[in-house]
Structure 1
């Protein structure tokens, strides 16, 4: 099977996620970190050169480096991600007024998300030091 079409698709997806993540820095409605995580994934699958370029950028260093290296984020990053997830899930929850099973599943996923972010992902201060009280 020819992998070139897949490779081109992965490059396109990588740049799409990079663009959306960068817009998310300015617009709080788009979550930056998940889009940058997707960018790393797609670039790693498509081109080692693109992957190395992206992990060398200030965008990667500022938004993902601490999470990738130490499974840690700043409190502000955690709150922004959780806030966006909560807002999107709230909209979905409201749209499912006739689907109680869907609402229950969404509620379980939302609770798990909050638990994971605030109990399993360590908190670092913006300068990169671990916060002792939030570990």
Structure 2
């Protein structure tokens, strides 16, 4: 099982790295999954991941302070909103539509009121 977690973690880490370059692909959700997978795969790999610049720039503040930069919040919310829009408009089931609308409300409430917004670290 450790090998499966390692492989999934590497896939998510690579996708997060690509997400830094391509603004269409979100970075933070992939880093969260990678952190979960690496923590389950091995202590040494998890320590390596926690020391990477990618983790420290995009996820460290959320883990330590329950805070994100405004840019990160917007990326996560916009990507999740676009993904939820597909089943919302394509589904004919009223209960699924109601559930997705409630999910939208909860998502925006949580990101607005439960996760603090911090300033991004500018390095000149």
Fold match by TM threshold 0.5 = yes
Q: Which moved more, 1:60-69 or 1:26-35?
A: 26-35
Residue 28 of structure 1 deviates from its aligned partner by 2.6
Q: Is residue 68 of structure 1 aligned with residue 63 of structure 2? A: yes
Q: Is residue 111 of structure 1 aligned with residue 105 of structure 2? A: yes
4+ aligned runs moved over 4 Å, structure 1? none
Aligned residues: 122
Residue 20 of structure 1 deviates from its aligned partner by 1.4
Specify the alignment match of 2:13 in structure 1: 18
Specify the alignment match of 1:126 in structure 2: 120
Structure 1: stretches of 5+ with no match in the other structure? 1-5, 129-135
Task: Give the structure-1-normalised TM-score.
Answer: 0.86
Q: Is residue 86 of structure 1 aligned with residue 81 of structure 2? A: yes
- Taking the aligned partners of 2:83 and 2:20, their CA distance within structure 1 comes to 17
Residue 24 of structure 1 deviates from its aligned partner by 1.5
- Taking the aligned partners of 2:13 and 2:62, their CA distance within structure 1 comes to 17
Residue 83 of structure 1 deviates from its aligned partner by 0.7
- Taking the aligned partners of 1:105 and 1:55, their CA distance within structure 2 comes to 35
Q: Secondary structure at the match of 1:73?
A: strand
Specify the alignment match of 1:132 in structure 2: none
- Taking the aligned partners of 2:107 and 2:26, their CA distance within structure 1 comes to 14
Q: Secondary structure at the match of 2:121?
A: coil
- Taking the aligned partners of 2:88 and 2:18, their CA distance within structure 1 comes to 26
Q: Secondary structure at the match of 2:117?
A: strand
Structure showing greater Rg? 1
Q: CA RMSD in A?
A: 1.2
Specify the alignment match of 1:28 in structure 2: 23
Deviation string 1:21-73 (CA, Å, 9 cap, x unpaired) is 11222223322101101111111101111100011010001100100000000
Q: Secondary structure at the match of 2:71?
A: helix
